[in-house]
Structure formats: C-alpha cells, structure tokens
C-alpha cells in the first residue's frame, strides 16, 4: 500500500467547496492533473488532501481517503473519504511538522511532480496530530 499526496488548487477547488462537498463515507471522484509516469495509485491506497500555502489563505492537510480505484484512461481517482476528514477540513493541520512532511514527500519524488505525489509508506509517516481531543495530550 502507498500513500499519495493530492495537492488541491484553491483557485479550481476552494477550501470552502472542499468543506461543503467532501464528507467521511461519501464516495467521490476527481481527475488528477498529470499522467503518472512511474506508478498509479491502487485500490486500498491512502489519498491525503492538501492545500499548499501558495494561492491559498487556509493551507494544510484537509483529510484523507481510501482509494476505491484509479481509472487511468480518464485520469480519475475514485475514493471514500475517511475519519478525521470531517474535523480536518474545518481545522486543517498546518504547522512546522506538516510543512516538513510535505517537503519530505516532494523531495523523494524524482519525476516531474505529477499530482498526486507518491508519499512514504504509511508505516514511515511521522505521527499525525490528534484531532479528536480524546486525551489530555491533545
């Protein structure tokens, strides 16, 4: 399994639209920008949604989803958003740790930066922030 960073363009799909349209458990699909040269996302992979600070007033990680399928001919990803997307889209994760993670993903991509970026395997991801406020350390 792989993790993919899907960088959204705030001019094409605003954070406000993401907040309104994307809900945990509601199937959705998007086209990806460039054809992926080396690999395609596979069923069961994780897609992480991210707005870069360039051109976006509210950057950060907005959620993630499980990939249902990737249709290469139409360059479309079909996915099912998962928890904690409903929380993250309202309070995006964007701090120094998030910036380091994005930089690390982009550095390891040696292609011409297709969207989505292929990220590290899930077991190699740094600890993500607790967004449920379930414990005193949150």
Cβ-proximal residues to 81 (8 Å cutoff; 6+ apart), any chain: 22, 23, 24, 25, 26, 28, 63, 64, 65
Q: What is the mean pLDDT of residues 36-45?
A: 78
Helix ranges, 4-136 (H): 15-21, 85-88, 96-108
pTM for the full predicted model: 0.78
Tell me: the pLDDT tens digits for 82-101? Answer: 999 999 999 999 999 889 88
pLDDT of the residue at 116: 53
17 vs 72: which has the higher pLDDT: 17
Strands 46-51 and 60-71: antiparallel
Give yes or no for residue 73 having a pLDDT over 80: yes
What's the pLDDT band for 118 if we cut at 50, 70, 90? Answer: low
Say yes or no to pLDDT of 17 above 70: yes
69 confidence band (pLDDT: 50, 70, 90): very high
Say whether pLDDT at 3 is over 50: yes
The answer on pLDDT for 67 being more than 90 is yes
């Amino acid at each position: 399994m792989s993790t993919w960073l899907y960088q959204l363009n705030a001019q094409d799909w605003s954070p406000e639209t993401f907040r309104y349209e994307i809900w945990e458990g509601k199937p959705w699909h998007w086209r990806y920008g460039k054809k992926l040269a080396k690999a395609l996302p596979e069923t069961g992979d994780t897609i992480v949604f991210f707005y870069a600070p360039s051109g976006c007033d509210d950057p950060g990680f907005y959620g993630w989803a499980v990939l249902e399928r990737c249709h290469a001919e139409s360059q479309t990803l079909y996915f099912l958003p998962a928890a904690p997307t409903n929380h993250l889209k309202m309070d995006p994760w964007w701090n120094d740790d998030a910036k380091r993670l994005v930089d690390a993903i982009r550095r390891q991509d040696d292609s011409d930066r297709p969207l989505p970026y292929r990220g590290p395997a899930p077991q190699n991801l740094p600890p993500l922030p607790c967004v449920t406020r379930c414990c005193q350390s949150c």
